[in-house]
Amino acid sequence: IKFVSRLQHHHQRQRPLQQIASLSILLLLLLLEYSTSLQQTRFKIYIPFVRGYWGGGEVAHFLREKKYHTSSMTTSSSLKSTLSNNVESSSISSVVPTPKWCPQLQIYIDGTIDQSYAAQSHIDHVLSNNLPLYVFGYGSLCWHPGDGILSNAQVSKMLGRAVGYQRCWGQKSADHRGHVFFPGLVCTLLSDEEVKNLEREHIGLVGEDENNDNDANPKEENPPKISLTEGLVYTIPHELIKQCLDELDFREKGGYARDLIDVIVYDEMEHEHDGQVRKTKRTIKAILYRGTPDNPAFSPRALLDEIYSAAVMSIAKGPSGENYTYLHQLNEFLMSATSSGVDAAGLEDELVSLVGDCRTGRLAALSNFMQEHQLYFLFGGGSNQYNQLLLDASTEHYCNAAKLVSGEEAHELKEIVLIVPRGPEHLEQDGMAKNSVHRPKQLFAGGGHSALLTHYGNFYIWGWNESNQLGRSSEHEINAPTSMDQSI
């Protein structure tokens, strides 16, 4: 009403041609107002046109008052034509309530959570047609559904696989497996294309090299592999759907959003002739909660630097328990899942990849290694030419996950993990006394080397050692921290 009254006020001073243009614009805006696929980019197209005829910024003010929020998620990467029926490749968006993120608690608050347009449309369709809802679980839902609706006797579950998605350990957790002062790490589900884009982004920060040209003109001799992610599919009866979604919205408030994907499931049927049980494959639409790369709790460093991630998960602990337990329970589920073989998907070996599930296994093994060592989480910046910042592993093997400039310099503080063997002194005390004496007491930063002194008196040094600066004969720098023979 306010908008129309302003229009009538301006009509008194406008020429007939301008009045026709203003009315046409009003009609256009009203159509956009009630469009279910409202896109923010359309406003960017029409605002300059409107203000060119109108003046005074009335339309811009009107749009600001509406406070629209658009959510956009890519459901999957473009896949091989032979698998096109299994994955929906599109960018989806919808007008949804703006999620309220609390940076202090690192969670969504007031019951708000993001979702894709496809997810909302699917939920509406299921509810209006009295259908069951499929929910795909790929993290803690695989081994710990909780005491709510998912544990209800009316809810069934079966193994399933998401096609074109990878299980990625890049979601910080301050409400379940860590705290705001030291978040843990939990998994999310990213499409193959999303992972590829993240890797390209970080590789591009290393500096100029020939790989940049290859990225611009990719030469793919072999067809790209499609990721498969093992998980559980819960079948929610119609009468329990709303309560189930409310519970999951609260459980996944640490940056996750509802999305819709295609999942392959397997039905066992007894053959009528020989009585043998055979598995038949079908594809279903399932809701899942995932943290997209643009959510506030996502960590590219954690995704691409497995050494760093394993270190965090080996010691982080939150209200829901130890991060280490979360990782290993999920890894045990993957190893025991009956459909873990590639043939179960009915796809050719050369076209599929289990990279996400293999990544989980590597992290579990690395976390076991970390459990046997003493870890120090530090911060540092500047030159890493001689690995003074202990970031060479990230640069050489994990796509420059720490975002070093030209592969050698950190222009902002980076989190550093110092990993040292545990000696007898680390096992002498128990509890807080043990932790306090081994806390860092002082850090030292030289031109080409760094060192740490603990309260117990252990002294660790690493970096450039070309001229035996570190007290140990070596022609090159010592990449791993070296403990001096005598404590200080």
What are the structure tokens assigned to 463, written together? Answer: 């970096």
Cα 127 from Cα 380, distance rounded (Å): 53
The DSSP symbol for 176 reads: S
Q: Which pLDDT score is estimated for 272?
A: 64
Token pair in block for residue 274: 């020989």
Buried b (16+ CB within 10 A) or exposed e, 319-333: ebebbbbbbbbbbeb
Cβ neighbour number for residue 479 with a 10 Å cutoff: 14
Measured CA to CA in angstroms, residue 64 lies from 5, 30, 222, 317, 411 at distances of 17, 15, 50, 42, 37
3-state SS assignment for residue 354: coil
| Measured distance CA(470)–CA(483) in Å, rounded | 10
State the pLDDT at residue 70: 34
For CA atoms 47, 117, 170, 190, give the dihedral sign: negative
Q: Report how far residue 250's alpha carbon sits from residue 341's, in angstroms, rounded to the nearest whole number.
A: 34
Q: What is the CA radius of gyration of the chain?
A: 27
In which residue are the tokens 């600001």 written?
64
Both tokens of 347, joined, read: 């796809």
The residues facing 227 across adjacent strands are: 353
Residue 22 CA to residue 55 CA, distance in Å, equals 11
Compute the distance between CA of residue 378 and CA of residue 417 in angstroms, rounded to an integer.
6
Amino acid at 72: S
The DSSP secondary structure of 42-89, one letter per residue, reads: HHHHHHHHHHHHH-TTHHHHHHHHH---EEEEE------GGGTTT---
pLDDT given for residue 428 in this prediction: 59
Residues 6+ apart with CB under 8 A from 72: 91, 92, 93, 116
pLDDT in tens, the chain (488 residues): 444 445 455 545 555 666 677 677 767 766 665 554 444 333 333 333 333 333 333 333 333 333 333 344 443 333 333 343 443 433 333 445 688 999 999 999 988 889 999 999 999 999 999 999 999 999 999 999 999 999 999 999 999 999 899 999 999 999 999 999 999 999 999 999 999 998 888 765 444 343 443 343 444 556 778 888 999 999 999 999 999 999 999 999 999 999 999 999 988 766 666 666 677 889 999 999 999 999 999 999 999 889 999 999 999 999 999 999 999 999 999 988 754 444 545 555 556 778 888 899 999 999 999 998 999 999 999 998 888 998 875 545 555 577 777 778 888 899 999 999 887 776 655 555 556 778 889 999 988 889 999 988 899 999 888 877 777 765 544 555 655 544 33
Cβ atoms of 9 and 1 within 8 Å: the answer is: no
Contact 132, 287 (CB under 8 A): no
Return the pLDDT at 392.
Answer: 77
454/292 Cα distance (integer angstroms): 39
Q: Which two tokens stand for residue 335?
A: 């190893």
Strands (E), 277-408: 277-290, 317-318, 321-322, 352-353, 373-383
Distance, CA of 241 to CA of 336 (rounded, Å)? 29
Decide: helix, strand or coil at residue 258.
strand
Tell me how many degrees the CA angle 415-200-381 measures, rounded to the nearest 5: 25
CA distance 415 to 413: 7
Compute the distance between CA of residue 22 and CA of residue 371 in angstroms, rounded to an integer: 69
Measuring CA to CA, which residue among 389, 292, 323 is closest to residue 182?
Answer: 323
